[in-house]
């Protein structure tokens, strides 16, 4: 099976009450850990590449790794998605490079400029058979070059369901990332968050059948935070989105859930553990391997949180 778009995935996810995991990739081990979990659980998959990932590994390496994953898993529908494209040029380049989905994030611009930029990307991408994700409202936190609003100001930048209708109609985007109280990064919240499910439902009521996306949805799992802190790290206040809240959103109109920080923490925790327990270790395979295994185990858990385990066949 060649790379696919998210169109069929989102149709099935919306109709059957689950969400597809969108996992960010930066190197071979992260990708292998994700894909091996997906293959075992028979789930559809979105592999996301950010601007930072392209700068770190170069597009040619990342595309080659993903091509191998697609070739070795012909029964698994896999989409290659641009995460947080910030200009028309960056989105155009990814369309030209063979991505099957791109995100244009102009949410930090005024409403009318967000519409203009999004429509420009949609017009180009659709001519090449590529779907487009857009964003309305603003999240908190920091992810690479994406700097959100302050933690105290998140509630003032939630997606307006009434604006969502106009935005989707004028841009023609295929999915919409909504601001519903989530936040980027590991230090998302000062206390346990309460997601704005009324926003998700409000947008769903206005845009029946339209797929929504939830960014900033890593849970900052305690097992990895504790390992990192045990072996020399300093993440005492790291807090993410509770998994039961993610499961609830996935049963609503949210068809795609972005996960990046949990991948980083799983890999880092295991590398720190290996270095602490075997300080003479210098073989990268001996610490990247356990990191890859931790990612696989974590992703398998997430697929059940999202409800997409076993759904690969219906999304093909």
pLDDT of residue 277: 97
The catalytic residue among 67, 75, 83, 86 is: 83
Q: Supply the pLDDT for residue 184.
A: 52
Determine the pLDDT at residue 188: 47
The structural domains of the chain, ordered by start, are 7-315 (3.20.20.70)
pLDDT in tens, the chain (316 residues): 789 999 999 999 999 999 999 999 999 999 999 999 999 999 999 999 998 999 999 899 999 999 999 999 999 999 999 999 999 999 999 999 999 999 999 998 999 999 999 999 999 999 999 999 999 987 654 444 544 433 444 555 688 999 999 999 999 999 999 988 776 554 445 556 678 899 999 999 999 999 999 988 888 899 999 999 999 999 887 778 889 999 999 999 999 999 999 999 999 999 999 999 999 999 999 999 999 999 999 999 999 999 999 999 999 8
- DSSP reduced 3-state for 311: coil
- pTM assigned to the model: 0.92
DSSP states along 50-109: EHHHHHHH-HHHHHHHHHHHHHH-TTS-EEEEEEEE-SHHHHHHHHHTT-SEEEE--TTS
In 159-196, which positions are buried (b, 16+ CB within 10 angstroms) versus exposed (e)?
A: bbbebbeebbeebebbbbbbbbbbbbbbbbbeeebebb
Q: What letters, b where the CB count within 10 A reaches 16 and e where it falls short, cover 251-264?
A: ebbbbbbbbbbbbb
pLDDT tens, position by position, 237-282: 777 888 999 999 999 999 999 999 999 999 999 999 999 999 999 9
pLDDT score, position 146: 46
* Tokens 């969108």 found at: 22
- Tell me if 54 sits within 8 A of 80, measured CB to CB: no
153 labelled catalytic = no
């Amino acid at each position: 099976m060649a790379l696919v778009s998210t169109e069929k995935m989102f149709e099935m996810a919306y109709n059957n009450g689950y969400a597809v995991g969108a996992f960010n990739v930066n190197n071979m081990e992260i990708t292998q850990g994700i894909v091996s979990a997906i293959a075992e659980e028979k789930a559809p998959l979105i592999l996301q590449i950010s601007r930072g990932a392209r700068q770190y590994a170069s597009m040619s390496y990342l595309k080659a790794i993903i091509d191998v994953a697609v070739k070795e898993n012909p029964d698994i529908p896999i989409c290659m998605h641009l995460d947080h494209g910030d200009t028309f040029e960056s989105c155009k380049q990814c369309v030209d490079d063979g991505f099957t989905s791109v995100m244009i994030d102009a949410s930090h611009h005024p409403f009318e400029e967000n519409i203009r930029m999004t429509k420009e990307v949609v017009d180009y991408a659709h001519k090449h058979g590529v779907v487009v994700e857009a964003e309305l409202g603003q999240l908190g936190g920091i992810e690479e070059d994406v700097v959100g609003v302050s933690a105290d100001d998140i509630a003032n930048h939630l997606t307006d369901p009434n604006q969502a209708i106009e935005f989707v109609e004028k841009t023609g985007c295929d999915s919409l990332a909504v601001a519903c109280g989530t936040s980027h990064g590991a230090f998302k919240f000062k206390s346990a968050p309460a997601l704005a499910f009324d926003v998700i439902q409000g947008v769903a009521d206005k845009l029946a059948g339209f797929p929504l996306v939830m960014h900033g949805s890593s849970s900052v799992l305690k097992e990895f935070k504790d390992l990192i802190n045990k072996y020399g790290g300093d993440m005492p206040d790291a807090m993410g989105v509770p998994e039961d809240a993610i499961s609830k959103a996935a049963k609503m109109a949210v068809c795609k859930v972005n996960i990046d920080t949990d991948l980083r923490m799983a890999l880092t925790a295991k590398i720190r553990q290996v270095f602490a327990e075997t300080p003479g270790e210098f073989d990268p395979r001996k610490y990247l391997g356990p990191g890859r295994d931790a990612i696989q185990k974590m992703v398998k858990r997430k697929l059940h949180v999202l409800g997409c385990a076993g759904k690969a066949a219906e999304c093909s």
